[in-house]
């Protein structure tokens, strides 16, 4: 928000590797780590349409090394891993829709490259700490709310299936190979440095882009499905907490936010933050999205609170105001090039 989300010097001189570090969450994390004193290296494949952009690292408080590579490319990645203490493994493709139209690509990016990466870390630096970002999508349509980590996993699209396999591989390597790996299951995240131009990255960037462009916002169905949206600064704090907590090893943690709101209310609040007072309209579900919709979701993050000492700080009102202000100052996020 107004200052960096991590304490100054909290990561002083720590050697950190952020995969997917040119993307939305990765770039916010890389900047926050650099601001708290870390030596940060970013690995990013800059896969087209996935949201990564070198400009996301503009304004870094200390130099951030950027290496363009697939995380599974041992020749490039092994030397970086060998020289790292903390690995934040955020690379991946996030579009549920694209995972259905190009499923092989989703498998390669979200599972195959990660398994290769785990093998690289195991071979070159098995003592490194790894925090992996998983997703609430592994649960599928919730059987009860709020959803805790014991809720059965039942993903409803290729992306969810692949992300679940990827998370399971990470935790298996923690258990079987005694590696220091933990995983966070993220819910809908919004904030600065999100790609507002690509479709398929979730409803929040769509709402923000439409609010700022003056376009109407439409929600599917009755718009009453609820989401516990999180500001990216809270995710950055959770990633830092997991990397700093021995008790996190081998464990998976939900993140979440107590303020679960209906999609139509999230849309209205986003419009209001952009100083607009027009109405949100509800339209029927498109068929291809109805099939993979999960209804309402709220995560139970009491395990993260208990073990990591983490809970979200940023209210939706503050977070969305900060987000709108950020993009207003940087109109290139909205433009098509």
**Secondary structure (H, E, C), 88-152:** EECCCCCCHHHHHHCHHHHHHHHHHHHHHHHHHHHHHCCCCEEEEEEEHHHHCCCCCCCECCCCC
| Distance between CA atoms of residues 238 and 311, nearest Å | 8
172 touching its own copies, by CB under 8 A: yes
Sequence-separated contacts (24+) of 174-180 with Cβ below 8 Å? 174/249, 174/250, 175/250, 177/122, 177/126, 178/126, 179/121, 179/122, 179/126, 179/127, 179/128, 179/130, 180/127, 180/128, 180/129, 180/130, 180/249
How far apart (Å, rounded) are the C-alpha atoms in residues 231 and 318? 9
For the bound state, the minimum distance from the C-beta of residue 175 to its own copies, rounded and expressed in Å, comes to: 7
Least separation in angstroms between residue 103's CB and its own copies is 6
Kindly state whether residue 162 participates in binding its own copies, applying the rule CB under 8 A. yes
Indicate which single residue of 111, 131, 201, 235 sits in contact with its own copies (rule: CB under 8 A): 111
83-102 footprint of its own copies as x/- string (CB under 8 A): -----------------x--
By DSSP bridging, strand 261-262 and strand 226-227 are antiparallel
Nearer to its own copies, 168 or 244 (CB): 168
Based on the shown chain and the rule CB under 8 A, indicate whether residue 286 belongs to the binding site for its own copies: no
- Does 179 bind its own copies (CB under 8 A)? Our answer is no
For its own copies, how many residues bind (rule: CB under 8 A)?
A: 28
Instruction: Tell me the closest approach of the beta carbon of residue 170 to its own copies, in angstroms.
Output: 10
- Residue whose CB is less far from its own copies, 122 or 305: 122
Under the binding rule (CB under 8 A), the answer on residue 155 touching its own copies is: yes
Which member of 98, 157, 233, 300 binds its own copies (CB under 8 A)?
Answer: 157
Shortest distance (Å) from residue 300 CB to its own copies = 16
Q: How far is the CB of 160 from its own copies (least distance, A)?
A: 8
Q: How many residues does the chain have?
A: 337
Applying CB under 8 A, among 168, 218, 296, 302 the residue interacting with its own copies is 168
d(C-alpha 87, C-alpha 254), whole Å: 19
Of the candidate residues 38, 77, 161, 196, the single one contacting its own copies (CB under 8 A): 161
Asked if 249 touches its own copies (CB under 8 A), the answer is no
Q: Report the nearest approach of its own copies to the CB of residue 220 (Å).
A: 17
CB neighbour burial string for 260-288, b if at least 16 within 10 angstroms, e if fewer: bbbbbbbbbbbbebbebeeebeeeeeeee
We find the least distance from the C-beta atom of residue 157 to its own copies, in angstroms, to be 7
Tokens describing residue 44: 């990013």
Site string for its own copies, 114-133 (x = CB under 8 A): -xx--x--------------
Answer for which of 34, 81, 165, 186 binds its own copies (CB under 8 A) is: 165
The angle at the Cα of 328, spanning 323 to 329, to the nearest 5 degrees, equals: 105
* Interface segment toward its own copies; rule CB under 8 A; list 32-40, 50-58, 159-167, 231-239: 159-167
Residues in region 287-316 near its own copies by CB under 8 A: 291-292
- Whose CA is closest to 28, among 5, 2, 50, 51? 5
The three-point CA angle 307-320-315 to 5° equals: 40
Residue 109 as a binder of its own copies (CB under 8 A): the answer is no
DSSP 20: T
Using CB under 8 A as the binding rule, whether residue 158 contacts its own copies is answered as: yes
- CA-based angle 235:72:59, to the nearest 5? 45
Q: Where on the chain is the footprint of its own copies (CB under 8 A)?
A: 100, 103-104, 107-108, 111-112, 115-116, 119, 150, 152-153, 155-158, 161-162, 164-165, 168-169, 172, 175-176, 291-292
């Amino acid at each position: 928000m107004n200052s960096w989300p991590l304490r100054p010097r909290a990561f002083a001189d720590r050697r950190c590797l952020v995969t997917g570090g040119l993307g939305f969450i990765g770039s916010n994390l890389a900047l926050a780590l650099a601001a708290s004193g870390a030596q940060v290296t970013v690995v990013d494949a800059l896969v087209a349409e996935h949201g990564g952009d070198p400009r996301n690292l503009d304004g870094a408080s200390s130099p951030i090394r950027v290496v363009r590579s697939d995380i599974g490319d041992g020749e490039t990645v092994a030397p970086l891993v060998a020289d790292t203490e903390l690995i934040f493994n955020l690379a991946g493709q996030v579009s549920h829709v694209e995972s259905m139209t190009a499923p092989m690509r989703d498998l390669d990016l979200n599972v195959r490259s990660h398994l290769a990466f785990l093998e690289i870390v195991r071979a070159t630096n098995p003592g490194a700490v790894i925090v992996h970002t998983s997703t609430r999508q592994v649960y599928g349509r919730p059987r009860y709310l709020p959803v805790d980590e014991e809720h059965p996993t039942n993903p409803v699209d290729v992306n969810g299936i692949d992300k679940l396999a990827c998370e399971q591989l990470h935790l298996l390597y923690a258990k079987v190979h005694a590696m220091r790996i933990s995983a966070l299951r993220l819910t809908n995240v919004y904030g600065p440095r999100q790609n507002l131009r690509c479709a398929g990255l979730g409803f929040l960037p769509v709402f923000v882009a439409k609010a700022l462009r003056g376009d109407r916002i439409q929600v599917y169905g009755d718009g009453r499905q609820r989401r516990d949206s999180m500001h990216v600064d809270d995710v950055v704090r959770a990633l830092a907490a997991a990397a700093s907590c021995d008790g996190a090893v081998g464990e998976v943690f939900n993140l979440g936010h107590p303020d679960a709101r209906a999609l139509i209310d999230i849309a209205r609040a986003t419009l209001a933050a952009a100083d607009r007072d027009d109405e949100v309209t509800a339209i029927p579900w498109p068929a291809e999205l109805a099939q993979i919709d999960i209804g309402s979701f709220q995560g139970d993050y009491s395990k993260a609170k208990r073990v990591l000492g983490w809970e979200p700080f940023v209210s939706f009102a503050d977070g969305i105001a900060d987000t709108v202000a950020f993009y207003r100052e940087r109109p290139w996020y909205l433009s098509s090039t």
